Structure 1
Amino acid sequence: MNRTEESLKALVGIKRTNDTLDRIVKQDMKNYGLNITEFAVMELLFHKGDQPIQKVKERILVASSSTTYVIDQLVKKAYVTRRQDTTDKRITYAVLTDKGYKLMEDIFPQHEQTIEQAFSTLEDEELSILRTALKKISAFSVE
């Protein structure tokens, strides 16, 4: 098999694997009453602290209007609040509430186990190689 065929098969494999991982994560989040995007926002805030909403949009890779909607939903659930920057009124931060932080403390360890299980068929070295290879592909830019 030549490199072009291998590349095409690799792309199909990545897409199928991504679909499988999406299903696993969606099911995991469904157990906690969250969708995958809501969880992505909460996970970012849980691990990185308060974030400007613009940065949330960039980090979770969804459209601007979708991010606003997701944050609105998390505000309704009392997991997140918005806070205006005190020095620059153009900047609004997304902030995890105590309730949101408690939820993440409760669910994140189980989520980590679920993800670890999803990759359990790989040896440690294979997992490391996969991460490195995916990072290289992600850095590729078409301009």
Structure 2
Amino acid sequence: MTKIYQHSGTHLFLLFWKASHAVMRYDQAGINNAGFSSLTDFAVLEVLLHKGSLPVNTIGEKVLLTSGSITTAVDRLERKGLVKREKSELDRRVVLVHLSESGRELITKAFAEHAANLDQLFEVFNDEERAQFAKLCRKLGGYAEKMTQ
């Protein structure tokens, strides 16, 4: 059996993987407590809250969903009365997704709780560590993206 050396690529990946799963479980619990059954529903509403009305495919790109998955998610949110689809006034071929009033109320409250939960989680880092963490994440993500092109 091959030994995994401390600070090797394999060791660092395992640390990152375990930490990311723990953070996602923490985040998912908060999202569930805010009344959402899925991260997808929360993410779609959050994008609309912060970016405004968008075409379905653009929302999918922003929340990392395929065209089929984002269509299903928007259909589900529309049935719940949280979003509405309307043709763009500028280009009638484009269908924009808007937050409904009830969707805006729900995501505004839920996002405030979500942000507070994440601020609490990252209190484990001081300001310098936060800046270093952000820099290292951007560096690793950019390098991994470059390596897959």
TM-score, L = length of structure 2:
0.86
For 2:21, the equivalent position in structure 1 comes to 19
Give distance in 2, aligned partners of 1:54 and 1:103: 23
| One-letter identity of the residue aligned with 1:57 | G
Give distance in 1, aligned partners of 2:138 and 2:67: 25
Question: What's the % identity of the aligned pairs?
Answer: 26
Gaps of 5+ in 2: none
Distance change (3 Å), C-alpha of 1:128 and 1:98: same
1:87 CA drift (Å):
3.1
User: CA offsets, 1:45-68, max 9 Å, x none?
Assistant: 111111111111111001211111
Gaps of 5+ in 1: none
1:100 CA drift (Å):
0.8
Query: What stretches of structure 1 move > 6 A for 4+ residues in a row?
Result: none
Find the partner of 2:138 among 126, 135, 139.
135
Larger Rg computed on CA atoms:
2
Give distance in 1, aligned partners of 2:133 and 2:118: 15
Give distance in 1, aligned partners of 2:7 and 2:139: 19
Give distance in 1, aligned partners of 2:93 and 2:14: 42
TM-score, L = length of structure 1:
0.89
1:39 CA drift (Å):
0.5
- How many matched pairs? 141
For 2:56, the equivalent position in structure 1 comes to 53
Please tell me the root mean square deviation across aligned C-alpha atoms, in Å.
Answer: 1.8
